[in-house]
Copies of this chain bind each other. A is one copy, B any other.
């Protein structure tokens, strides 16, 4: 992995690091409103989805699918949203979000709908443990 990867300060501020997979840093968005993971390929200089090199793409999509399956098995959502937007944080990052028919943004996208609701410490630890367990099976 490149030594010059540095997580963007906006992602570092908003998220908790869960793990490093072979390609991506795995983050939990600190917003208890939605089960919400973010994957960031640990390569310097990537901005858009199509910047991911051909050599990395199978690993990248495999990690997106693994994160999606972990959310699916842990939370039984009706839909998984996958999105690389990056208009505010230019470093390539992929949102993977479990969606429910009774969540506050359904059926719209979640961004900007309701203010982030940071996890309380007990709930955070519980969620981290649940996800780490789910990753092992996913």
Contacts and interface: CB of A to CB of B under 8 A. Distances in A.
Interface of A: 47-50, 57-58, 60-61, 64-65, 68-69, 72, 79-88, 90, 99, 106-109, 111-112
Given A109-B109, A111-B108, A111-B109, A79 B87 contact: yes
A57 B50 contact: no
Number of copies: 2
Given A48-B80, A108-B111, A109-B109, 13 more contacts: A47-B79, A48-B79, A49-B80, A50-B65, A79-B86, A79-B90, A81-B83, A81-B84, A81-B87, A82-B83, A83-B83, A83-B85, A88-B107
Contacts of A60: 61
Say whether chain A's binding surface is mostly helix, strand, loop, or mixed: mixed
